[in-house]
Amino acid sequence: MIYRIPDKGDPSDELQYFPQFNLQLLCCRYWWLKNWEFGELSYPYWRIYWNPVPGAVIVNNKKEIRLDEDKIIVIAPNTSYATRLFDHSIPEVGFVLKGGRIANDDFDVLRRGENEIPHLFIHFNIGIPYDNVHPRVFTIKINTHLREKLTTIKDSLKTDFRKFDFHTSLVIKSLIFDLLAELPDQKWELISRDERIIKVLHFIEQNLNEYISNNILAEHTNLATNAFTRLFRNEVGVSPQNYIRKKRIDKACALLDHSQSTIDEIAEDTGFSDRYHFSKIFKQVTGTSPGKYRKAFNV
């Protein structure tokens, strides 16, 4: 096969820039819920909720958002919100969660009359800098095109929720891209637009399991260490090391939620010297231990 450099004047020889992102699916599940009362939820990854039966409520900034078959909820990373079903009370401390997987059509046949509702949820990340948008809850009205994708995903999850075929994976990712494309352009307020800082943020995300000093980061910006540290704090709002610590805990939360890795393995994967050091920092940041965090969200 012969390749030829495009002639001058050929539109394909014009250099173009496309933002780089990496969609990482963390989970996609279809559950029935009888209780879903949380006083506060906040996760370091994007979340999508769709409930084909009304009854669930999200509370964000004192505003109630009711879930139903005609809307999809998209929640940006690190957004704080509360949830409840029906007229249940939201607990001041802790949570009440009761539910399970919907298999085949047993929910429609057995459960719909028992104050239980179906709940489709998807968790994902799209990488730096787009996981660092300002916390926010978005409500998107469902059209025929989106509803067809939701139905395909829901039907697939009712038969096999562990292994997705290529087509279903494409549909899930296509749904995510459709929803993200609906978000207003001005809502993509990124943590920084300085290309030097964006480069550093990418490096941090790809090397969280390694030792990362300010000197190492400064080398990627061609700045002296002190000048880089000032620039980073001005752009991001925290010191480089505090940012790295937060990103390591964010990754640990995602692994605790969506993997079978042991706590020792997660400590190693997120760049901590040992399990003791990891558990100490995790509790400082989240207020609870890794073991309790994993147990709390395991139904």
Say how far apart CA 225 and CA 213 lie, in whole Å: 10
What average pLDDT does range 111-126 have in this prediction?
Answer: 84
Give the tens place of pLDDT for each residue, 247-298.
999 889 889 988 889 999 999 999 998 899 999 999 888 888 998 888 776 6
- Residue of 173, 169, 89, 82 lying closest to 124 (CA atoms): 173
For the ranges 11-25, 101-115, 248-262, the one whose mean pLDDT is highest: 248-262
**pLDDT score at 111:** 54
Flag the least confident range among 19-23, 136-140, 170-174: 19-23
What average pLDDT does range 215-220 have in this prediction?
Answer: 94
Q: How far is CA 178 from the centre of its chain?
A: 16
Prediction pTM value: 0.82
**pLDDT score at 9:** 62
- Domains of the chain (ranges; CATH) run 24-187 (2.60.120.280), 195-296 (1.10.10.60)
**pLDDT score at 11:** 63
pLDDT at position 105 over 80: no
Q: Which residues pair with 73 in a beta bridge?
A: 49, 139
Say how far apart CA 127 and CA 149 lie, in whole Å: 24
Q: How far is CA 14 from the centre of its chain?
A: 35
Query: Per the structure block, which two tokens stand in for 212?
Result: 């990362």
**pLDDT score at 190:** 72
Query: CB neighbours (10 Å) of residue 144?
Result: 6
For the ranges 104-113, 180-189, 270-279, 285-294, the one whose mean pLDDT is highest: 270-279
pLDDT at position 48 over 60: yes
**pLDDT score at 7:** 62
What average pLDDT does range 78-102 have in this prediction?
Answer: 89
pLDDT at position 92 over 80: yes
pLDDT at position 10 over 80: no
